[in-house]
């Protein structure tokens, strides 16, 4: 339910409102205004069936005490109250927000850096670099999890081996089993997965910036840094908004990596809302409470992405 809501196809929304705006403003004489709906009907039907209806159903379930089979009983907002009161569930949401830094902020920063450096200098074999840097994005997450579990392994894991080999054995630790380091460790995996996407978006964006702008900046005596701040960054605003939207959604609905690496542990140090949804619904059998977490998560994702896009638009 979370997943489908989060991936609401933007095209449907855009087409819909575009069609509305057009029929009102410049409808040709005799054209039936409602005809536009006909065109989007097939997509809308599927969207309604597989996204809106399940989402609605989740909202309904979130007001019930329901184990998945026995008749549920209406308990109003009790699930939401528990969500706010329960420190473990609150903790899961806090962890998700921490992961936003690793899944969204860091990849965007790294992506910008790579895009700026790859597009500024003539790099031999640019396509090769781009492909290699993009690779993490196309590796299945299960494989990613296996790779990083190996990298972080306490005994023979390459990371700890490298630390010991360089005399930093004091820093070696069971990364995924350490109460302070497990969350950042999982976060770094997210950074590794996401930066490729950001980089590709930004490289594409940089290529459409007119070279005359760079020439003008250079004539004005701008160095690499000023050029980046005055030309590249402002012109990539839309790409940054897209990248942030995609990566923030990915970070907040993060389930696979947690499930495959730490199962929310050690203790509850890496538990996240999407994992809790799964856990409550399928392991504990509290479908109502799971729905409440899912709905809350969906609303948070919704609010944050609207916020990001508004900020991006307000400046344009």
Partner 1 sequence: MRKSPARLRAALTMILCAALATAACSVAPGASGGGNDQPQGSSTAVPKGDVTLTVWDQEVRGGQNAQIEQLNQEFMDEYPNVTIKRVAKSFTDLNKTLKLAVSDDEPPDVVQANQGRPVMGALVTAGLLAPLDGYANAYGWADRYSQTLLDLNSFSPDGATFGSGSLYGLSQVGEIVGVYYNSAKLDELGLEAPQTFDDFEAALESAKEAGEVPIQFGNLDKWPGIHEFQAVQNNSADKDYLRDFVFAQGDVSFSTDANVAAAEQLQSWVDAGYFTDGFNGVSYDDAWANFADGEGVFLITGTWLAADLEEQMGNDVGFFLMPPSQEGADPVSLGGEGLPFAVTSESDEPETAAAYIDFITNEHATEVITETGGLPAPTGGSATPAGGVQADIFEAWEQLNSSDSIVPYIDYATPTFYDTITASVQELTADKAEPQEFVSTVDQDYTRFLEDLNQ
Nearest to 277 by CA among 258, 264, 266, 291: 291
How far is residue 175's CA from residue 149's CA, in Å, rounded to a whole number?
A: 9
Q: How far is the CB of 54 from partner 1 (least distance, A)?
A: 8
Answer for which of 43, 98, 153, 188 binds partner 1 (CB under 8 A) is 153
Give CA–CA dist 54/34, Å, rounded: 27
Q: What tokens appear for 106 in the block?
A: 């860091």
Separation CA 238–CA 210 (nearest Å): 16
What's the closest the beta carbon of residue 240 comes to partner 1, in angstroms?
12
For the beta carbon of residue 147, count every other beta carbon within 10 angstroms.
14
Residue 234 C-beta: closest distance to partner 1, Å:
14
Closest CB to partner 1 among 69 and 127? 69
Could you say whether residue 266 binds partner 1 (CB under 8 A)? Answer: yes
Burial class (CB in 10 A: 0-12, 13-18, 19+), 292: buried
Shortest gap between Cβ of 73 and partner 1 (angstroms)?
Answer: 8
Q: Which of the residues 292 through 311 are near partner 1 (CB under 8 A)? A: 302, 306, 309-310
Q: 53 or 135, CB closer to partner 1?
A: 53
Contact 305, 13 (CB under 8 A): no
- Residue 267 binds partner 1 (CB under 8 A): yes
Choice from 286, 290, 294, 301 touching partner 1 (CB under 8 A): 286
At closest approach, how far in Å is the CB of 205 from partner 1?
A: 13
CA dihedral 189, 193, 196, 198 (to 10 degrees): -90
CB 12 within 8 A of CB 40: yes
Residues 6+ apart with CB under 8 A from 200: 130, 134, 137
Task: Assess 80 for contact with partner 1 (CB under 8 A).
Answer: no
Question: Which is nearer to partner 1, 131 or 180 (by Cβ)?
Answer: 180
C-beta of 252: minimal distance to partner 1 in Å? 17
**What distance in Å separates the CA atoms of residue 306 and residue 48, rounded to the nearest whole number?**
21
- Give CA–CA dist 226/175, Å, rounded: 39
Q: Which stretch binds partner 1 (CB under 8 A): 115-123, 127-135, 192-200, 262-270?
A: 262-270
Nearest by Cα to 297 from 236, 234, 253, 260 = 253
Write out the binding residues for partner 1, residues 96-125 only, by CB under 8 A: none
Sequence length of the chain is 316
Distance of alpha carbon 273 from alpha carbon 89, whole angstroms: 7
Stretch that binds partner 1, among 55-63, 117-125, 134-142, 193-201 (CB under 8 A): 55-63
Considering the complex, state which of residue 210 and residue 267 has its C-beta at the smaller distance from partner 1: 267
Binding-site size for partner 1 (CB under 8 A) equals: 63
CB of 117 to partner 1, least distance (A): 27
- Residues forming the site for partner 1 (CB under 8 A): 8, 13-14, 16-18, 20-21, 48, 52-53, 55-57, 59-61, 64, 66-74, 149, 152-155, 173-179, 238, 241, 261-268, 279, 282-287, 302, 306, 309-310, 312-313, 316
């Amino acid at each position: 339910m979370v997943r489908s809501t989060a991936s609401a196809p933007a095209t449907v929304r855009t087409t819909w409102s575009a069609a509305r705006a057009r029929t009102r403003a410049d409808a040709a004489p005799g054209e039936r205004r409602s005809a536009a709906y006909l065109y989007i009907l097939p997509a809308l039907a599927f969207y309604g069936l597989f996204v809106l209806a399940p989402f609605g159903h989740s909202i309904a379930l979130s007001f019930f005490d329901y184990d998945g089979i026995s008749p549920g009983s209406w308990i109003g907002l009790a699930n939401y109250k528990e969500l706010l009161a329960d420190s473990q569930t609150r903790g899961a949401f806090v962890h998700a927000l921490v992961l936003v830094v690793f899944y969204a902020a860091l990849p965007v920063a790294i992506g910008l850096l790579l895009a700026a450096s790859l597009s500024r200098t003539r790099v031999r074999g640019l396509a090769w670099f781009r492909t290699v840097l993009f690779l993490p994005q196309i590796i299945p997450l299960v494989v990613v999890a296996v790779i990083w579990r190996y990298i972080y392994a306490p005994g023979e894991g390459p990371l700890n081996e490298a630390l010991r080999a360089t005399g930093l054995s004091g820093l070696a630790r069971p990364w995924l089993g350490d109460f302070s380091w497990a969350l950042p460790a999982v976060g770094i995996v997210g950074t590794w997965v996401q930066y490729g996407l950001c980089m590709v978006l930004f490289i594409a964006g940089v290529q459409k910036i007119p070279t005359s702008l760079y020439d003008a900046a250079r004539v004005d005596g701008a160095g690499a840094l000023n050029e980046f701040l005055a030309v590249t960054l402002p012109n990539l605003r839309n790409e940054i908004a897209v990248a942030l939207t995609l990566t923030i959604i990915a970070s907040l609905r993060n389930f696979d990596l947690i499930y495959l690496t730490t199962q929310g542990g050690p203790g509850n140090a890496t538990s996240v809302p999407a994992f809790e949804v799964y856990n409550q619904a399928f392991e504990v059998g509290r479908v109502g409470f799971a729905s409440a977490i899912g709905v809350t998560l969906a609303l948070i994702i919704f609010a944050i992405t609207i916020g990001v896009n508004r900020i991006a638009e307000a400046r344009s």
